[in-house]
Chain A
Amino acid sequence: MCGLIGIMDTSGAYFSGHDIVAGIAAMEERGNGLGAGFAVYGCYPQYADCYAFHVMYPRPESRPQVETFLRQHFSIVYAEPVPHRNVPDLLCPPPIWRYFLRLPSFLQEERPGVDEAEYVVHKVMQVNTAGLGAYIYSSGKDLGVFKGVGHPGQIAEYFSVEEYSGYLWTAHTRFPTNTPGWWGGAHPFGLLDWTVVHNGEISSYGTNRRYLEMMGYRCTMQTDTEVITYAVDLLVRRHGLPVEVMARVLAAPLWSEIERMDEPERTLTRTLRQVYAPLLINGPFTVIIARHGEMIGLGDRIRLRPLTAATAGDRLYLASEEAPIRLLCPQPERVWTPLGGEPVVGRLRTPWSAQEVPLEAVSRYAYAM
């Protein structure tokens, strides 16, 4: 079974990739080397207000076409291949680039009041469904996603993950069951500043996917986790639901449980199940969902995949096992296993915003450029 880990400093303090790499490497036994990845929030402070598109080119010859598209629809502040070391036993890593983008100035005149996020999602879907052999797999502000086919240690070495720093990290070691292990299929899955790492199998993938396609989301990464990323974006960003309500849609309480609820909770939960029936994520799963300022651990409603949570000072830890947490923090104040369907939510004490970036947070990456 896959291995997940997430670490968040709720005071917003930055920390390097060292902890997350050690934590996920301790669960290497849970993966089989066919995928690993890291997400870090706050790693591009000098481009904090730009959308950091991470684009993978399994067909390298598609890059000029994608870059033309990006120039047409965005203003490119800076672009570069993602720096990486040479790790010989990684199997044919595709070229991976990152583009720091702002919305074009003409956009507000042409389409006043356009929703920035909708615009970005639409463009990401356009590239990903164009069949070019190029995939935008992360499109959030001040968010880095580093993933590929390999064990966590290899992927961390390849992308020099330990050199980045941020206040929220998640990581994954993959043991693919129903879908192919390829660079685009590694976790985390990202859209805007959402990222999801997932352990489990989504038997409702077909239903979820068809519903999300009606809402403008196209699944292109041949991995079931993708539907959770888009479902969360729909429910929380577009429909404005609190994350606790989103958890009740994805891991919907059983009807027998709903009958025993008091009002108004019973009517709310029954309504959620009726309105969002196609977004019930059926099958065993545990996910760690993150966006700027928030980390959410959630398991399926009858808890068929493990999740351990722990707190120590400002730090919130979520992991598939307790040992990696204890490796990083021998004596946490509290360690517990949440019930199935019960979200564990970590929030920044002061809400995150792109502008106020603590100067001392500039990562070593910025100097290494």
Chain B
Amino acid sequence: MEGQKLKLDVSGMHYRELNARLRQMVQNGVQCIELYNVCGQRYIASNLGKPVEIHLYGTPGNDLAAFMDGPRIIVHGNAQDGCGNTMNSGEVVVHGRAGDVTGYAMRGGRIFIRDDVGYRVGIHMKEYQDQRPVIVIGGTAQPFLGEYMAGGVLVVLGLTLAPGARHTATYIGTGMHGGVMYLRGEVADHQLGREVARMPLDEADRALLAQLVGEYAAYFGCDAERILDQPFTKLAPLSSRPYGRLYAY
């Protein structure tokens, strides 16, 4: 089965069996796997540590690719909450929307969401040496975006917003103490958490955005130039220990 593409109908299959099957296939050297009728199974591919490409047709359950280390997952549908929870490396590409706490406590790897996402996306994301996680969201996000962020890159493009409409998330970057966020378009002061501030974009920021938006555009077939020719807001933490003095007195 070396290098072959394997198809599997997983309707009604419990996630333990599904993940055991995946592990088996990966150990047998299968390079590309397609799962059909995915419906709510949790923790898909969370135990895989080898590069493999997995296509999911349907609605994968919570904590898709949790702790994942290496594979690439393409979701043809919507992802639920906790997609990429504590992911270490690899890629998740969702041709649809994703739920709350997408990229929760992410350590590395990349997540590309074509449409909107829920609350607290990128919460507790962190980075360490060359482990720098990236989340790129094509649509917009709900409140508490990047809460308690400690590292990594979070990009929100707002492509699903009506013309002239703006991001409506509030409490953006609450408790943020590391990493960087780029939001396409403006946000009002009252939408920002106390621990984050706007920063001017420098050349390094523009280069990073060009690369990430380019990849997003490649995945979802849209025009990177048109996306990049709008102003971006860069948000970064005011301090690395925002709550340092909270209990000092």
Q: Is B144 located at the chain interface by the 8 A CB criterion?
A: yes
Bound-complex Cα distance A29 to B40 (A): 10
The interface residues of chain B, by DSSP majority, are classed as: loop
Q: Please tell me if the beta carbons of A322 and B118 are within 8 angstroms of each other in the complex.
A: no
- Tell me which of B80, B119, B142, B190 contacts A323 (CB under 8 A): B80
A308 and B42 alpha carbons, distance in the complex (Å): 17
Interface 0/1 of A58-72, CB less than 8 Å to B: 000000000000000
Chain A residues, CB < 8 A from B40:
26-27, 321, 323-324, 327
Give the distance to chain B from A319, nearest Cβ to Cβ, in Å. 10
Taking the nearest CB of chain B, how far is it from the CB of A297, in angstroms? 15
On whether the beta carbons of B61 and A321 are closer than 8 Å, the reply is yes
A303/B59 in contact, CB under 8 A: no
In whole Å, how far is B172's beta carbon from the nearest beta carbon of chain A?
A: 14
Contact B143 A322 (CB under 8 A): no
CB contacts under 8 Å to B, within A246-296, are 256-257, 260
Q: A26-B39, A303-B142, A322-B59 are in contact. Are A337 and B100 (CB under 8 A)?
A: yes
Task: Quote the shortest CB–CB distance from A32 to chain B (angstroms).
Answer: 15
CB-contacts of A299-339 with B (<8 A): 302-303, 306, 308, 321-324, 326-327, 335, 337, 339
Q: How far is the CB of A262 from chain B (nearest CB, A)?
A: 14
Q: Give residues in A with beta carbon < 8 Å to B.
A: 26-27, 29, 256-257, 260, 302-303, 306, 308, 321-324, 326-327, 335, 337, 339-340
Closest residue of chain B to A338 (Cβ to Cβ) is B142
- Chain B residues packing against A (C-beta within 8 Å): 15, 39-40, 42, 58-62, 78, 80-81, 97, 99-100, 118-119, 142-144, 170, 190
Task: Report, nearest first, the 9 A-B pairs whose CB atoms are least far apart.
Answer: A323-B40, A323-B59, A326-B59, A323-B39, A303-B119, A337-B118, A327-B39, A26-B40, A322-B59
Could you pull out 7 A-B pairs where Cβ atoms are within 8 angstroms?
A29-B42, A302-B143, A303-B118, A321-B40, A323-B59, A323-B60, A326-B59
Chain B residues with CB below 8 A from A340, complex form: 119, 143
Chain A: minimal CB distance from B241 (Å): 24
Given A26-B39, A339-B142, A339-B143, residue A322 in contact with residue B78 (CB < 8 A): yes
A108 CB, min distance to chain B CBs, angstroms: 52
Contacts of B97 in A (CB 8 A): 335
Q: Is the CB of A322 within 8 A of B42?
A: no
- With A257-B170, A303-B118 known, 12 other A-B pairs at CB within 8 A are A27-B40, A303-B119, A306-B81, A306-B99, A306-B100, A321-B61, A322-B59, A322-B99, A323-B61, A326-B39, A335-B97, A337-B142
**A334 nearest CB across to chain B (Å):** 12
Q: Which residue of A lies closest to B97 (CB)?
A: A335
Most buried by A among B40, B97, B99, B190: B40
CB contacts (< 8 Å) of A327 on chain B: these are: 39-40
Q: Which residues of B contact A337 (CB under 8 A)?
A: 99-100, 118, 142
**Complex formed: what's the CA distance from A304 to B243 in Å?**
22
- Considering the chains assembled together, what is the distance between the CA atoms of A327 and B97 in angstroms? 17
Which of A257, A260, A302, A306 is the one whose CB lies under 8 Å from B144? Answer: A302
B170: chain A residues at CB < 8 Å are 257
Nearest-Cβ distance from residue A336 to partner chain B, whole angstroms: 9
Give the residues in chain B near A335, CB-CB below 8 Å.
78, 97
A256 to B81, CA, bound (A): 27
Q: In the bound complex, how far is the Cα of B61 from the Cα of A337, in angstroms?
A: 16
Q: Please pick, from B62, B143, B190, the residue contacting A303 in the complex, using a CB distance under 8 A.
A: B143
Q: Quick one: closest B residue to A256, CB to CB?
A: B190
Complexed CA–CA distance, A333 and B80 (Å): 18
| CB-based nearest B residue for A326 | B59
Select one of B15, B80, B142, B144 contacting A321, CB under 8 A.
B80
- B151: min CB distance to chain A, Å: 24
Cβ-defined contact, B80 with A322, below 8 A: yes
**A27 cross-chain contacts in B, Cβ below 8 A:** 40
CA distance A257 to B190 in the complex (A): 9
Asked if A321 and B143 sit within 8 Å, CB to CB, the answer is no
User: A26, A260, A303, A326: which contacts B58 (Cβ < 8 A)?
Assistant: A326
A302–B142 Cα distance when bound, in Å, is 10
Residues of B contacting A321 in the complex (Cβ-Cβ under 8 angstroms): 40, 61-62, 80-81
User: Within the assembled complex, what's the spacing in Å between the Cα atoms of A323 and B56?
Assistant: 13
Distance in Å: Cβ of B113 to nearest Cβ of chain A: 14
**Complex: how many Å from CA A306 to CA B39?**
17
Select the residue from A257, A260, A302 with max chain B CB neighbours within 10 A.
A302
Residues from chain A with a CB closer than 8 A to the CB of B100 are 303, 306, 337
Cβ–Cβ < 8 Å partners of A303 in chain B? 100, 118-119, 142-143
CA distance A323 to B77 in the complex (A): 11
CA distance A306 to B61 in the complex (A): 13
Q: Which residues of B contact A260 (CB under 8 A)?
A: 190
- CB neighbours of A339 from chain B (8 A): 142-143
Q: Could you say which residues of chain A place their CB within 8 Å of the CB of B142?
A: 303, 337, 339
A48 to chain B, nearest CB (A): 36
Contacts of B39 in A (CB 8 A): 26, 323, 326-327
Contacting residues, chain A, for B58 (C-beta < 8 A): 323, 326
Which residues of chain B are near A256, meaning CB under 8 Å?
190
Across-interface contacts of A29 in B (CB, < 8 A): 15, 42, 61
Chain B residues lying within 8 Å of A324, measured Cβ to Cβ, are 40
A306 to B98, CA, bound (A): 12
Chain A hits for B144, CB < 8 A: 302
Q: Chain B residues near A257: list those with CB within 8 A.
A: 170
Residues on A with C-beta less than 8 A from B143 are 302-303, 339-340
Nearest chain B CB to A256's CB is how many angstroms away? 8
**In the docked arrangement, what's the CA distance between A324 and B61, Å?**
10
Question: Which partner residue on chain B sits nearest A335 by CB separation?
Answer: B78
